[in-house]
Amino acid sequence: MLLQISEPNSTDIAPRERKLGLGIDLGTTNSLVATKSEQGADVIADASGARLVPSVVNFNGGVTVGAAALELAVSDVRNTVLSAKRFMGRSRDDLSEAQLLGLAASDALAFDTGDGPKTPVEVSSEILRALAARARDSLEEQEEGVVITVPAYFDDRQRQATRQAAELAGLNVLRLLNEPTAAAVAYGLDETIAESSVVAVYDLGGGTFDISILRMERGLLRVLATGGDSALGGDDFDEVIVSWMVDQWGLVDLTRDQQRRLTVMARAIKERLSESSEVSIKASGEFSHFEDLPVTRETFASLSEGLIHRTMRACDQALDDAGVTEVAHVVLVGGSTRMPVVRDAVAKYFGREPLCSINPDEVVALGAALQADILVGNGDGDEALLLDVIPLSLGLETYGGLIEKIIPRNSVLPLAKAQEFTTAKDGQTGLVVHVLQGERERVEDCRSLARFELNGIPPMVAGAARILVTFKVDADGLLEVSAREEITGTEAALVVKPSFGLSDDEVAAMLRASQTNAAEDMQARQLREAKVEAESLLHGLAGALDADGDLLSDEERADLEKEAGALVTALQSDNTDTIRSVTDQLGQASLTFAERRMDRSIKSALSGVAVSELEAED
């Protein structure tokens, strides 16, 4: 190896060359790209000074992205795609009939455009490509890599879709970073808050809502808990205005074009209400024969009450998960937090005025840029570490249709966890590893992520095999599962790369359901566990009687079979206590038989072995 050594006290040491890392906020409504220089982090603007890039793409004999595409949103509805982020990592089955309008008629989820079907991944890749091009043109430099932010509640499938979009755009993804965590970095909370201080990050964007609870612990910025709603954002506030307009004007059977025009009008009204206490909806175009509609902040607050309440329920859950009742600071993130109705509600809920000194549209991109700068090698080692958490528990299906949680929700990332399992039946030579996500106790109440098979297990009696299942989740929240049979070394693994993700309210609904049904779920789990134990005992006893029934007298065998029959009857009752009681009775009744079988096994093993050989072994 060749080392370059400087003379002592030499003053001609070249400074370390800075590398370019980009932070990208891939938003539902708007997207941004930022970078960090020696002067600090800043959003990169285009030649006209515009900093936001509307997350809109038009496909019509070419690709148009951003503001120019947004201008085509009304005149060229079919070929213009808005809010593609809400469709990332999802399937057609996840969508409502209204959301299916404008999608191509195919099994895959894709938008119908003049240039053919375009998937959400393809749409997002065009936005990412445009952002990267803006940075390269402005800085006249090629980036080393990018940090892309995602909602904290994006599941594995949605994160994978985001990575795929970046790869399609030719970008080197250094890390996917949760949006609320990025905001905390932008505010420099590691330098401005005291040790053990708790911070809430309230992030209401165009299409998603996240709430994160963070604490500074020994120089580590740790996410204690996350919550939110992956289908709640500024778009929904637009929709309540649209619904109100439809009701006020008595509109029916809207076309897709009319729906789009009303949405554009509603968004403008929402933004004006952030500056004025009352505005008027001017009826224009095909709606010009209707009267103008005056709308006040109070009216808008009333229309939005249900949406605000949904965010507060998520805050309740996150605080409960974190085990805290009070926070030192509240950070507002996302353009939708500009709405006075949101800021007032947040201040009232947390009992303190929220921090909003950094542009809420830009704060996430700035935090991502700071992280990108560190990850490309420009950091000095003094930066606070970010410890994100996994939003929903991960586990496996076990015998009886139960889920065994391997990684509980809110575990700190990255992490790896292993647990040993065994076979349920004699002679079993393979098993299916069924990976699930959720908080409930039964498989049917959780989300299936993937399945794979482990074959080549040596045939043994039930319970003898040793199968080590390992879950690894990286810093981006992406999952790899492996299973290894310890005796033969047979192994199978799978990186979970599903093609679609959670439906609109599924994540929030799963958490609510786990709380609401906790007692019922535990009772159901106890019943199934009792049944599994009983069925296992009956199966084992039947095999033992076939193999060594001669060790019992007719009367003893009849007594055992009578006890077994009682257990079969108990299994029909769905009474956990009864099943366990009768199982214990059968277990006690079979102890003498088990001892005789053990004696026979020992005598058989020692048959023909000399005493001297046993002494030599000792």
Sign of CA dihedral 238, 243, 249, 255: positive
Top pLDDT among 115 and 609 is at 115
Helix (DSSP H) and strand (DSSP E) numbers for the chain: 17, 24
User: Could you write out the DSSP letters of every residue in 416-479?
Assistant: EEEEEE--SSTT--EEEEEEEESSSSBGGGSEEEEEEEEE-PPP--TT---EEEEEEE-TT--E
What's the pLDDT at 500?
Answer: 36
Confidence check: pLDDT of 24 > 80 = yes
Give pLDDT tens digits for 25-72.
999 889 999 999 888 899 999 988 999 999 999 999 899 999 999 999
How many whole angstroms from its chain centre is CA 441? 19
Q: Which amino acid is at 188?
A: G
| Domain containing residue 66 | 21-234+303-387
- Residue 398 and residue 383 in one domain: no
Query: Does residue 209 fall inside a structural domain?
Result: yes
Nearest to 328 by CA among 180, 220, 214: 214
- Residue 383 and residue 399 in one domain: no
Q: Which residues carry out catalysis?
A: 25, 85, 179, 203
Q: CATH number of the domain that 573 lies in?
A: 1.20.1270.10
Q: How far is CA 320 from CA 108, 151, 331, 438, in A?
A: 39, 20, 19, 18
Strand partners, 513: none
Query: Does residue 469 fall inside a structural domain?
Result: yes
Top pLDDT among 43 and 463 is at 43
Tell me the pLDDT band of 497, cut-offs 50, 70 and 90. Answer: very low
How many whole angstroms from its chain centre is CA 323? 21
Tell me the pLDDT band of 154, cut-offs 50, 70 and 90. Answer: confident
- Residue 30 and residue 139 in one domain: yes
Confidence check: pLDDT of 595 > 50 = yes
Query: Does residue 255 fall inside a structural domain?
Result: no
Confidence check: pLDDT of 345 > 90 = yes
Q: Which amino acid is at 445?
A: D
- Residue 367 and residue 472 in one domain: no
- Residue 479 and residue 507 in one domain: yes
Query: Does residue 462 fall inside a structural domain?
Result: yes
Q: What is the 3-state secondary structure (H, E, C) of 463-484?
A: CCCCEEEEEEECCCCCEEEEEE
Among the candidates 370, 387, 404, a domain finishes at: 387
Tell me the pLDDT band of 506, cut-offs 50, 70 and 90. Answer: very low
Backbone angles phi, psi at 489, to 5 degrees: 80, 5
What's the pLDDT at 285?
Answer: 72
Could you tell me the two tokens for 46?
A: 């285009």
Strand partners, 468: 420, 484
What's the pLDDT at 11?
Answer: 44
Question: What gap in Å lies between CA 593 and CA 553, rounded to an integer?
Answer: 10
- Residue 217 and residue 109 in one domain: yes
* Mean pLDDT rounded to a whole number for the chain: 82
- Residue 94 and residue 135 in one domain: yes
Matching residue, tokens 């003379």:
7
Query: Does residue 493 fall inside a structural domain?
Result: yes
Confidence check: pLDDT of 300 > 70 = yes
Question: What gap in Å lies between CA 247 and CA 593, rounded to an integer?
Answer: 78
What's the pLDDT at 545?
Answer: 86
* Helix segments in 549-575, DSSP class H: 554-570
**Count of structural domains within the chain:** 3
Query: Taking the complete model, does pTM exceed 0.85, yes or no?
Result: no
> Mean per-residue pLDDT for 4-13?
40
Confidence check: pLDDT of 389 > 50 = yes
What's the pLDDT at 561?
Answer: 86
- Residue 333 and residue 400 in one domain: no
Helix (H, G, I), strand (E, B) or coil at 191: helix
> Mean per-residue pLDDT for 100-117?
77
- Residue 80 and residue 105 in one domain: yes
Q: CATH number of the domain that 343 lies in?
A: 3.30.420.40
Query: Does residue 87 fall inside a structural domain?
Result: yes
Q: Do the bridges between strand 402-407 and strand 394-398 make them parallel or antiparallel, or are there none, so unpaired?
A: antiparallel
Nearest to 345 by CA among 314, 317, 305, 299: 305
What's the pLDDT at 606?
Answer: 60
What's the pLDDT at 532?
Answer: 75
What's the pLDDT at 435?
Answer: 87
Nearest to 392 by CA among 429, 445, 349: 445
Top pLDDT among 397 and 153 is at 397
Pick the range with the lowest mean pLDDT from 138-152, 273-287, 300-314, 494-508. 494-508
Among the candidates 516, 544, 563, a domain finishes at: 516
Among the candidates 459, 489, 516, a domain finishes at: 516
Confidence check: pLDDT of 421 > 90 = no
Question: What gap in Å lies between CA 122 and CA 125, rounded to an integer?
Answer: 5
- Residue 91 and residue 161 in one domain: yes
Query: Does residue 611 fall inside a structural domain?
Result: no
Give pLDDT tens digits for 531-565.
777 877 887 788 888 888 888 888 888 888 888 88
Helix (H, G, I), strand (E, B) or coil at 221: strand
How many whole angstroms from its chain centre is CA 399? 26
- Residue 168 and residue 44 in one domain: yes
Give pLDDT tens digits for 215-260.
877 666 677 888 888 778 899 999 999 999 999 888 888 888 888 8
- Residue 151 and residue 230 in one domain: yes
Name 610's Cβ contacts closer than 8 Å, sequence gap at least 6.
none
Q: CATH number of the domain that 508 lies in?
A: 2.60.34.10
Query: Does residue 239 fall inside a structural domain?
Result: no
Nearest to 462 by CA among 528, 537, 571, 397: 537
Matching residue, tokens 């805290």:
324
